[in-house]
Amino acid sequence: MTMCTCVWFKQYSNERNLAVNPQGGNTGLVGGSVPVFDEIILSTALMNQVISFDSVSGILVCQAGCILENLNRYLEELDFIMPLDLGAKGSCHIGGNVATNAGGLRLLRYGSLRGTVLGLEVVLANGSVLNCLASLRKDNTGYDLKQLFIGSEGTLGVITAVCILCPRKPMAVNLAFLGCQSFSQILETFTTCKRMLGEILSAYEFMDDRCMKLVVSHLKLSNPVTESPFFILIETSGSNSTHDQEKLNNFLECVMASGLVTDGTVATDDKKIKTLWALRERITEALTYDGYVFKYDISLPVEKLYDLVIDTRVRLGRSAKNVVGYGHLGDGNLHLNITAESYSHSLLDAIEPFVYEWTAKYSGSISAEHGLGFKKKHYIQYSKPWEAVLLMQQFKAMLDPKGILNPYKTLPSSS
Amino acid sequence: MTMCTCVWFKQYSNERNLAVNPQGGNTGLVGGSVPVFDEIILSTALMNQVISFDSVSGILVCQAGCILENLNRYLEELDFIMPLDLGAKGSCHIGGNVATNAGGLRLLRYGSLRGTVLGLEVVLANGSVLNCLASLRKDNTGYDLKQLFIGSEGTLGVITAVCILCPRKPMAVNLAFLGCQSFSQILETFTTCKRMLGEILSAYEFMDDRCMKLVVSHLKLSNPVTESPFFILIETSGSNSTHDQEKLNNFLECVMASGLVTDGTVATDDKKIKTLWALRERITEALTYDGYVFKYDISLPVEKLYDLVIDTRVRLGRSAKNVVGYGHLGDGNLHLNITAESYSHSLLDAIEPFVYEWTAKYSGSISAEHGLGFKKKHYIQYSKPWEAVLLMQQFKAMLDPKGILNPYKTLPSSS
């Protein structure tokens, strides 16, 4: 399949100036994986084979079109897991995950793909294959070229195979779902949590009461704790269930006694764990039932995270139906979502560039994990200085001089 | 200081074509930080200030000339640690660590700098400052330019400030020093260790009996266990000493009962921990007393790791004094060292390119963590295909068209 991709580029795209839109599971949220004008879609769907897995080192090599959930299922049978997990796992491809530097639910524990991806095979615009598919944890021979393709959304090359380091499947997983009275208490609970749960902490997610109302009313899920302004979901993953439960209980006693947390429930069995995760994971789905959704994916210093939600709510007043905040607090990543009865240009004008300017003011990122794609490429300057954008454009011109790789994406036009 | 660096490049280096050799603690092993001909040394020694530290997120921002050990000491008072640790910590600079993508003793636990470095400030060859000093765990706005400077040994830009994610200081540290009868038992012990110690495993180092003989005879250290062909050092770092000791004891009972390990000792107090670490950390020092040392830093699939030592020993026979193997087994990283009474050209010819060819045959890296610098740049093709080297040369030409940044290093000349 990689050879087909090369031949395609050599014989068609490059020679005839045909633009290509690489596409994995097409689950992105910024239009990076859909053609804009007349680009030809290059799908990775048939490149779906595992190439090798080493159970001593935990190193997996596979083709780019493998679906994330399938890889995880394959690994679980061998007592390993993928180092990333996200809502779209049932259809997203590992090649697309790497091309967009996907974050998701396990980043807090296993780190970003920049650390776990050990090697890539990439087809360049001129049809040559760049083989950086090393299966080594350490390799300091020259520049780390693969990093340039991670997160470049298919604009510099087409990822055809991936080598990734996988952690062992944890023997025990526990969940706590807690109610909290203020955002500052969420932060203090996080600090306590990092101290007392330490190495077993694998997720620290938060959602506000508006999110809870939406999943309860639109999806008929039940809130397992008393009404609170905020909710926290904490997951632990470890190698000894007795130890993990003891650590979790000690932590819960401490935050309950100090009043940081006002109510909570714990799950140790698979079924209840899934029920509690659904409250957080299905917020996106609940939002779609609420009307038209304006979606923002923001990184901020954690202390500032929720102020953006409050300020946006005040600014929009009654012109928005709901302004909600949730996300991966442990990573400083806020998903700010605004719903309205229907799309309105004046509402969009009230939101943008306000949200971007607010984020830039506190040195945040206007796209924490979704990328820029087609929809957000013009906002890059809110998070990157112009010298950096200029350099990115030079890289693009060098690697794709004819502009045939996923054009109109990621970077603003250099002219 | 950053401004001085810019002015320097603008007014002197770039305009007058003066080549520059960026230098941190000058602790590298491949000649990357020393001038070759008439380059001017640009030292980071005076850029030694911490800029900020956020104790909720664990994010540190500091100037490039901060000494690693000083940063660690600063963080320990705030209950955090640096995510990397290496023998040269007392004099190496964080800027140099990042420029060489240093690995070291904590990589197994906290991952590589590619995941923990969140932002960089870099002065480019034309004197402009590239500010990618974001303090965010997630930022997917455009290409991740900072990655190109990590591990490029000062050949693409001079790192002037670093933003890095730091883990909490572990509340409990334990060490086990074990004797083992064969290399395959070391591997099986590693698999058992990952399963039973899981999230608290922070180091898995090995050394052979020749290393032990050297530290015992040259440094007068004592071997704390019975004579064995191999020794393993296992470190755990966790948040609960009772749990950690219980896990370690369960693991030791298991590997002793199954005969994987034949003798061992455990340390929980600081003094004994340091004594045991010294056996592993001071091998380099012991080697210098043994004669002239030929040093190799190799990544290999773990199953193949020690075969290189055996084959080299057989090949060199009595022409070498000692051929020893040790290293970060958990990372697939072997330090192969060969000593002789004095330097000999014929011995070098017997070692090289043999060691590089052997490594290439098993898809290893001829420089796992030391980089290529001046000494190893011509061997890059053993670990990277020529398309990759060509692309690296294009990056170099784009970012440093006059070739004034650390010339004669990392890459073979493009002509």
- Nearest Cβ partner of A331 from B137, B147, B171? B137
Query: In which band, very low, low, confident or very high, does the pLDDT at A1 lie, cut at 50, 70 and 90?
Result: low
- Nearest Cβ partner of B135 from A143, A194, A301? A301
Task: Say if residues B42 and B158 touch (Cβ distance below 8 Å).
Answer: yes
How many angstroms away from the CA of A319 is the closest CA of chain B? Answer: 29
d(CA B265, CA A52): 37
Are B141 and A372 in contact (CB < 8 Å)?
yes
- Nearest to residue B298, comparing CAs of B370, B199, B192? B370
- Nearest to residue B175, comparing CAs of B94, B321, B281, B17? B281
CB burial of A252-287 (b: ≥16 within 10 Å; e: otherwise) equals bebbeeeebbbebebbeeeeebebbbebbbbbbebb
Average the pLDDT over A331-342 and give the result. Answer: 96
Are A145 and B391 in contact (CB < 8 Å)?
yes
Are A114 and B144 in contact (CB < 8 Å)?
yes
Residue of B nearest to A191 (CA): B56
How many angstroms away from the CA of B217 is the closest CA of chain A? Answer: 32
Q: State the pairing for strand pair B20-23/B40-43.
A: parallel
Interfacial B residues in 67-96 facing A (CB < 8 Å): 79
Average the pLDDT over A149-178 and give the result. Answer: 97
Q: Where are the alpha helices (DSSP H) in A113-226?
A: 113-116, 146-149, 183-197, 209-219
Q: How deeply is B46 buried, as exposed, middle or buried, from its count of CB atoms within 10 A (0-12, 13-18, 19+)?
A: exposed
- Nearest Cβ partner of A383 from B114, B141, B151? B141
Chain B residues whose CB is inside 8 A of the A54 CB are: 301
- Tell whether A383 lies on the interface with B, counting CB pairs under 8 A: yes
In sequence order, which residues have a C-beta less than 8 Å from that of residue A113 and are 6 or more positions away? A83, A84, A97, A98, A101, A102, A150, A164
At residue A415, the pLDDT reads 57
Strand, helix or coil for residue A104: coil
Low-confidence ranges of chain B (pLDDT < 70): 1, 3-4, 7-8, 10-11, 415
At residue B14, the pLDDT reads 75
Strand, helix or coil for residue A358: helix
**pLDDT tens-digit readout, A109-126:** 999 999 999 999 999 999
Interfacial A residues in 121-150 facing B (CB < 8 Å): 128-132, 134-145, 147-148, 150
- Nearest Cβ partner of B383 from A137, A139, A190? A139
At residue B1, the pLDDT reads 62
**pLDDT tens-digit readout, A250-263:** 999 999 999 999 99
Chain B residues whose CB is inside 8 A of the A195 CB are: 79, 168, 239
Chain A residues whose CB is inside 8 A of the B169 CB are: none
Are B141 and A367 in contact (CB < 8 Å)?
yes
Are B372 and A141 in contact (CB < 8 Å)?
yes
Q: Using CA atoms in the order B408, B6, B44, A389, what is the torsion angle rounded to 10 degrees?
A: -80
At residue A14, the pLDDT reads 75
Average the pLDDT over A308-330 and give the result. Answer: 97
- Tell whether A367 lies on the interface with B, counting CB pairs under 8 A: yes
In the predicted model, what is the mean pLDDT of chain A? 95
Judge whether residue A5 has pLDDT over 90: no
Query: In which band, very low, low, confident or very high, does the pLDDT at A3 lie, cut at 50, 70 and 90?
Result: low
- Nearest Cβ partner of A140 from B101, B382, B391? B101
- Tell whether A243 lies on the interface with B, counting CB pairs under 8 A: yes
At residue B415, the pLDDT reads 57
Q: Note if the bond before B353 is cis, omega within 30 degrees.
A: yes
Q: State the pairing for strand pair B158-165/B59-63.
A: antiparallel
Are A247 and B243 in contact (CB < 8 Å)?
yes
Are B302 and A398 in contact (CB < 8 Å)?
no
Strand, helix or coil for residue A299: strand
Task: Say if residues B383 and B365 touch (Cβ distance below 8 Å).
Answer: yes
Residue of B nearest to A371 (CA): B140
- Tell whether A411 lies on the interface with B, counting CB pairs under 8 A: yes
d(CA A255, CA B403): 58
How many angstroms away from the CA of A47 is the closest CA of chain B? Answer: 23
d(CA A224, CA B210): 61
Structure tokens at A219: 């999806």
Are B367 and A395 in contact (CB < 8 Å)?
no
Are A142 and B385 in contact (CB < 8 Å)?
no
Chain B residues whose CB is inside 8 A of the A190 CB are: 56
- Nearest to residue B370, comparing CAs of B404, B313, B328, B405? B328
Strands (E), A268-360: 292-299, 322-328, 333-340
d(CA B70, CA B74): 6
d(CA A347, CA A319): 7
- Tell whether A363 lies on the interface with B, counting CB pairs under 8 A: yes
Other CB atoms within 10 A of residue B339 CB: 21
Are A364 and B136 in contact (CB < 8 Å)?
yes
Are B301 and A247 in contact (CB < 8 Å)?
no
Chain A residues whose CB is inside 8 A of the B365 CB are: 134, 136, 138-141
Are A144 and B147 in contact (CB < 8 Å)?
yes
Amino acid at B44: T
Domains, chain B, in order of start with CATH, read 2-165 (3.30.465.10), 172-283 (3.30.70.2190), 290-369 (3.30.70.2740)
Residue of B nearest to A388 (CA): B130
Which site among B29, B140, B166, B413 would you substitute to test the A interface, given the most A Cβ atoms closer than 10 Å to its Cβ? B140
d(CA B225, CA B218): 18
Judge whether residue A17 has pLDDT over 90: no
At residue A190, the pLDDT reads 95
Query: In which band, very low, low, confident or very high, does the pLDDT at A90 lie, cut at 50, 70 and 90?
Result: very high
- Tell whether B115 lies on the interface with A, counting CB pairs under 8 A: yes
- Nearest Cβ partner of A247 from B240, B299, B379? B240
Task: Say if residues A50 and A66 touch (Cβ distance below 8 Å).
Answer: yes
As a whole-number percent, the residues of chain A with pLDDT over 90 amount to 92
Residue of A nearest to B382 (CA): A141
How many angstroms away from the CA of B364 is the closest CA of chain A? Answer: 7
- Tell whether B40 lies on the interface with A, counting CB pairs under 8 A: no
At residue B16, the pLDDT reads 80
Are B247 and A243 in contact (CB < 8 Å)?
yes
- Give the residues across from A158 on adjacent strands: A123
In sequence order, which residues have a C-beta less than 8 Å from that of residue B239 and are 6 or more positions away? A195, A196, A197, A198, A199, A247, B168, B170, B171, B172
Structure tokens at B392: 């690296």
- Nearest Cβ partner of A147 from B114, B383, B394? B114
